[in-house]
Amino acid sequence: MSPWPGREKTDIVYEDESSILTSLLIQKGYLHPSTWEGRSPTYYIEVKTTPNEMSHPFFCSQQQYDVMESMQLSFDSHMQRIYVIARVFRLGGNRMGIKLYVDPASLRSSKELAFNADKYSVTPRMHE
């Protein structure tokens, strides 16, 4: 496989051509049936893992945040892209688990997820 020259958008891009994942997410209550039934969106799945409990913070880059925000769903949205964070917790432990955050930008807006900016880019200044 040759190197890919583009910028990574997310860990997994899944085109749900048969609407299988969409149907499962509707069944589990992540997506509203009247909006998504029979549709075949493309999923952009970002995998976040920690060996800690689910409540432990995980990291998100500015680029990931920007992509997530650009894909925020709305009630009148006809978007065919859905951003998902797949949160794997207790990685490597006996009780490893996973939690999906479908449309995390909307979950941020409703305060179900809290995003805190706590990273800085530091550039040393050269003295002349």
| DSSP code per residue over 35-85 | HHTT--PEEEEEEEE-SS-TTS-----HHHHHHHHHT---TT----EEEEE
Per-residue pLDDT tens for 33-67? 998 999 999 999 999 998 989 888 888 888 899 99
The answer to whether the predicted template modeling score (pTM) of the entire model surpasses 0.85 is no
Supply the mean pLDDT for the chain: 87
The SS3 assignment for 108 reads helix
Q: Could you tell me the pLDDT band of residue 9, with boundaries at 50, 70 and 90?
A: confident
Q: What pLDDT digit, counting tens, does each position of 56-107 carry? A: 888 888 889 999 999 999 866 677 899 999 999 999 988 999 999 999 999 9
Q: Where are the domains of the chain?
A: 12-109
